[in-house]
Structure 1
Amino acid sequence: MSALFRAAATAAWLACSALAAQAQQCPPQVPVQGAPPPGPLPVFPPDNWWNTDISAAPVDPDSDSFIAFINNGGVRRLHPDFGGEVKPGSVAIYGFPYAVVDGTQPKKKVKFRYWDESDGVDHVTGKSLPFYPLPDEAITEPHWVEGGAPANVDQRRKNDRHLLVIDCTSKHLYELYNVYYNPTTGKWFGGSGAFFDMTRNDRRTEGWTSADAAGLAIFPGLVRYDEAWNDLVTDIGHALRVTVRATNGHVYPASHTAGSTPGALPMGARLRLKTSVNGEDPATRTSDPHARKIFRAMQRYGLIVADNGSDLYISGTFDLRWNNDLLNPAFATLMASDFEVVQRGWKP
């Protein structure tokens, strides 16, 4: 066997091994809604801002005033903004659904309102490109798009209508905001769209939005059932996405501003659950080990302000296995005063 032939055979074997490794990261059947994402977990590199340990990060000098703003003269408590169906068998759902596809999924064009800050667009002409691997199932089947209704139902004026898609072959993440599929023209529409390579720490262009107001990826900040309720996963390993009613500017790692309310936190700000409040660890207020695991993530990785919405609503996935009769009272044991604001724009 010649050296050239051996080299070619070795290269072919390595390529096949790489493809086999990628294939093992994909579910047996795709497209599928809500399957565990490709490993290793957490998604994105270990030093990504979502996965950074902030337990020793400095407290912002204006932390108390920010917390007071959130409380708004009362007491703001945490709320899990995720769950299953609004009613058993209903189209309407709680939380973010997401689709998992593989590298064979055809790419579709999407016409965006904010095309100049979206990916998959020729930024000279504004022309949409075949870029987003959107599954046809999302067009007609419920529970693939945020809110629950299929994409061919136009609910853009009353719902954010996010559509999140993971390509498990390449570990690519595609996120769209305010989507609609027009069955008459056979075309996809959206407010904005963003692409993320989950093997890299690429940040959005400064000033750009994503599918989220802060310009961040949504998926890596979601509470997921496959992490929280899997006893083999001892540490969720990433920060959680949180909304507040108003924001003021943005700081790292966010790239986009969507508010200028005096006294409010900026997009990208981090909240951290204290380890002691009046001599008590607030994470122990719930006896459920899975809810407590979520609270431990709030202490170690924190919450990242990603959008305007209801105060202290924690984002998670749509999953029929969530038990909101357990989650709602557990989250309600935590209030704004149990948190502190990490120094704005802090980097490790």
Structure 2
Amino acid sequence: MKTTAFFILACTVGAFAQHPQIKVGQNADLKGALIMPGDDEWNRGVSKDEVDPLSDAIIASIGAETSLHEDFGLVWKGQPGGIPYFVVGGEQPKVPVHFNEAKDESDPGPYPIPPEAWIEGGPQSDGDRHVLVLDKDNWKLYEIYRAFPIDGGKAWNAYSGSVFDLKKPKPRPAGWTSADAAGLPILPGLARYDEICGTKKLTHALRFTVKKSRRAYVPPATHFASTHKDENLPPMGMRVRLKANFDTSKFTGAAKVILEGLKIHGMILADNGGDWFISGAPDDRWNHEELLPIRKVKGKDLEVVKMKAMTTR
């Protein structure tokens, strides 16, 4: 009986101690943790993959002379730039979330959203208004798009939402959105300070946006957000990487870590927005001046990784 009791206790403790070193709170340091499993598509190295036959045409449609742009690490309209996230423990109370336009493609609530969780762009924003919550004990991710709190956060209204089991993640059903246009989780694709300036190693693909995408998607995406059918436009889920012969020796600090990571893991198109805008999480420790050099990289320095299984409708 003692052995059985100990086993049950050990299993219970283990189930709620996925990442005990991570503290709860707004934009809490994730200690360099890999959000998705090591064999997930977000973490796959693509430096040896073939180049897509339409690479040059697609790069040109986005902007061969357009620079990469860091969409984080600065203050914009009085709010920290980037997409914020909140880390909670397994005991965090869950609250109702009412979905509007994409109810049929959203995972039903309740979600463990603290009333103090930041909204992307701030409480007065008219933008995407993402709210991301990471349950560090159960290692689950809750994300909502166009989030509006009700009665101080006792409930929420949102356009869409999704829940990802980060231990055994599954793609969204074909044709489903998430809190992101491509149907992907957002947090795994953000540039985070604890990686870029902490471990000084980027071990996953980054999330990026373009102004004009194609009415199509490729894995790992499950959804598109466009009416344009031009095959030279980028589909959601498309991955690009920095060309192997691009010289990064003159770059230092955060910029170099990001660029070296883009050679190995690349970045995945996840939403419509600014051309070549790279997404990241807010952090008071970012030194924006150290990020600015990535703007020396232009679209022509990138190439599209060969795409498969494209869905068009």
TM-score by length of 2: 0.91
Q: Give the corresponding residue for 2:247.
A: 282
Aligned partner of 2:115 among 125, 128, 136: 136
- Residue deviations 1:136-157, cap 9 Å, x none? 113xxxxx110023xxx4x4xx
Structure 2 residue 26 is matched with structure 1 residue 33? yes
Q: Would you say the 8 A contact 1:271–1:339 is kept in 2?
A: yes
1:305 match: secondary structure: strand
Q: 1:56 to 1:9 in 2, by over 3 A?
A: same
Q: Give the corresponding residue for 1:293.
A: 257
Q: Would you say the 8 A contact 1:38–1:171 is kept in 2?
A: no
Q: 1:16 to 1:188 in 2, by over 3 A?
A: closer
Q: Give the corresponding residue for 1:239.
A: 205
Structure 2 residue 156 is matched with structure 1 residue 181? no
Q: Give the corresponding residue for 2:58.
A: 66
Q: Give the corresponding residue for 1:267.
A: 236
- Residue deviations 1:305-348, cap 9 Å, x none? 000111000000011111222212x11110000000001138xx
1:229 match: secondary structure: helix
Aligned partner of 1:335 among 291, 298, 308: 298
**In angstroms, what is the RMSD of aligned CA positions?**
2.1
- Worse-matched range after superposition: 12-21 or 103-112: 12-21
Amino acid at match of 1:336: G
Q: Would you say the 8 A contact 1:25–1:168 is kept in 2?
A: no
Q: Give the corresponding residue for 1:99.
A: 86
- The CA distance in 2 between the partners of 1:108 and 1:26, in whole Å, is 23
- The CA distance in 2 between the partners of 1:62 and 1:35, in whole Å, is 40
Aligned partner of 1:75 among 65, 72, 92: 65
Structure 2 residue 104 is matched with structure 1 residue 116? yes
- Residue deviations 1:191-235, cap 9 Å, x none? 1000011111310011000000000000000000000001xx253
Which structure has the larger Rg over C-alpha atoms?
A: 1
1:59 match: secondary structure: coil
Aligned partner of 1:317 among 281, 292, 308: 281
Q: Give the corresponding residue for 2:122.
A: 148
User: How far did residue 12 of structure 1 move?
Assistant: 3.4
Q: 1:164 to 1:245 in 2, by over 3 A?
A: same
- The CA distance in 2 between the partners of 1:178 and 1:159, in whole Å, is 8
- Worse-matched range after superposition: 257-266 or 215-224: 257-266
- The CA distance in 2 between the partners of 1:160 and 1:244, in whole Å, is 15
Q: Would you say the 8 A contact 1:26–1:169 is kept in 2?
A: no
- The CA distance in 1 between the partners of 2:114 and 2:152, in whole Å, is 18
Which 5+ residue runs of structure 1 have no aligned equivalent? 121-128, 139-143
Amino acid at match of 1:317: A
Q: Give the corresponding residue for 1:190.
A: 158
Aligned partner of 1:8 among 4, 11, 21: 4
Q: Would you say the 8 A contact 1:161–1:178 is kept in 2?
A: yes
TM-score by length of 1: 0.83
User: How far did residue 107 of structure 1 move?
Assistant: 0.8
- The CA distance in 1 between the partners of 2:92 and 2:308, in whole Å, is 38
Aligned length, in residue pairs:
306
- The CA distance in 2 between the partners of 1:340 and 1:291, in whole Å, is 19
Q: 1:20 to 1:191 in 2, by over 3 A?
A: closer
1:195-234 superposed matches below 5 A: 195-230=163-198, 233-234=199-200
1:173 match: secondary structure: strand
Q: Would you say the 8 A contact 2:114–2:153 is kept in 1?
A: no
Q: 1:185 to 1:96 in 2, by over 3 A?
A: closer
1:9 match: secondary structure: helix
Q: Percent identity?
A: 41
- Residue deviations 1:146-202, cap 9 Å, x none? 0023xxx4x4xx210000000011000001100001339954100100001111131
- The CA distance in 2 between the partners of 1:23 and 1:326, in whole Å, is 30
- The CA distance in 2 between the partners of 1:184 and 1:80, in whole Å, is 32
Amino acid at match of 1:333: K
User: How far did residue 19 of structure 1 move?
Assistant: 5.3
- The CA distance in 2 between the partners of 1:264 and 1:20, in whole Å, is 44
Q: 1:192 to 1:20 in 2, by over 3 A?
A: closer
Amino acid at match of 2:221: A
Amino acid at match of 1:146: E
